[in-house]
Amino acid sequence: MDRLTSLRVFLRTIDLGSFSAAARDLGMSPQMAGKHVDALEAGFGTALLHRSTRRLSLTEAGRICAEGARRTLDAVNAMDASVENLTDLPHGRLRVTAPASLGRCRIVPNLPTFEAAYPDITLELTLADRVVDLTGEGFDIALRVGDLRDSELAVRGLAPFRIAAFASPGYVQQHGLPNHPSELEQHRCLNYVFDSYPAPDLWVFKQGEEQIKISPRQAIAINDATSLIELALRDAGVVMTGEMNVADHVAAGTLLRLFPDYTSVSRPLNVLFHRRRAVAPRERVFIDWVVNLLGASKPE
C-alpha cells in the first residue's frame, strides 16, 4: 500500500477516533482504512493502536509514529505548495469552514463568482457554529468570529462583525418605527438561541458613554440566524444580527437598520490558516477573495 496514504489514514483515525470516521473523511471504506493501519503496523513490526469496542488509543510506538507522520506530511504538503506556486495555477481540493449564518448569508451566495474565477479548485465548505480544529479535522482555512485562542495558526484580519437591530418596512408599517432602543420592550423581537446556553436576556446598545441594556419581548427564538432573518423579512419582528448577514437586504430596502445613532456588539472576524506550511495558491486566492468580499480589518 502507498505509505503516505497509510500515514494519512493513521492520523485521521487517531484525530477522529475511529476507522469509520476516518474512512468517511477520506472517501474510502472502513475496511480499507483498517488495512492501511494494519500495513503500517506490519511494516513497523509492532502495534500502533490499542483497539477496544469503545475507543482507540495510541501505543508508545503509535505516539512516535504519529509525531513523525505529522512532520512528514507537513513537509510533503509544503513541497506540493511550493511546486504549485511555480505553476501559479490554483487547483485541487480546498476545505473551508465558516460560521453558519455568515456562510449562508454572505459566502454561499457569492460562491459562483469564486468558482467561475477558479474552476480547477474543488471547494468543500462546512458551515458550523463551533470552534473547528483545523489540524485535527483536516481543514485548510477557517473563518472565525470572536476573540482568538493562542494557536499555531496564521491569521488575517477581516472587517469587524458588528451586530445591529433590523426590521422590515412591512413590520414598521404594522407596528410603528421604534425611535429609541428602550421602545423594543413593546415590540416583537426575534432572538438567537445558542446551542450551549439559552438566548441572552439583554440586547445592548451604546451611544458615546451611554449604554442601554434592553430585555426584549421575545416573540420567537431559534438557534439559526438565517431563519431569524427570514422571519424578519416576513414582517415577524425585530432581529439583532450581524450587519454582514443582512447587507444585501439593507441595500435592497427589504430590511431597515434601526437606531443608526447607536452601536451594539462588535466582534473580531478573522481568516485562519496553517502557519507551519507554505500557503498553496488555492488557499491564497480564496483568502484574498474573502478579504475582498467582507473587507479587511483597519488599524485602530
Is a pLDDT exceeding 80 seen at residue 119? yes
Least confident span in 97-101, 199-203, 242-246: 199-203
pTM for the model: 0.68
Range in 61-75, 114-128, 145-159, 185-199 the model is least confident about: 185-199
Give the side-chain half-sphere CA count within 13 A for 189: 26
The pLDDT score that the predictor gives to residue 73 is: 83
Topology at the third CATH level for domain 90-300: D-Maltodextrin-Binding Protein; domain 2 (3.40.190)
The residues near 132 (Cβ < 8 Å, ≥ 6 apart) are 97, 126, 139, 142
Question: Where in the sequence of the chain do the CATH 1.10.10.10 domains occur?
Answer: 3-86
Identify the CATH number of the domain defined by range 3-86.
Answer: 1.10.10.10
Question: What mean pLDDT comes out for the span 88-92?
Answer: 80
pLDDT at 52: 78
223 half-sphere exposure, CB direction, 13 A CA radius: 8
The pLDDT, as a whole number, for residue 151 is 67
The confidence score (pLDDT) of residue 65 equals 92
Residue 84 predicted with pLDDT over 90: no
Count CB-CB contacts under 10 A for residue 122: 13
8 Å CB contact between 98 and 131: no
User: Which residues have CB under 8 Å from 271's CB, separation 6+?
Assistant: 141, 142, 143, 155, 156, 157, 158, 287, 290, 291
pLDDT number for residue 55? 80
163-181 per-position pLDDT tens digit: 999 999 999 999 999 999 9
- More confident position, 298 or 65: 65
Average pLDDT over the chain, rounded to an integer: 87
Q: Where in the chain is the domain with CATH 3.40.190.290?
A: 90-300
Residue 196 has pLDDT above 60, yes or no: no
Question: What is the model's pLDDT at position 56?
Answer: 86
CB 218 within 8 A of CB 187: no
Q: Which of 54-58, 91-95, 255-259 shows the lowest per-residue confidence on average (mean pLDDT)?
A: 54-58
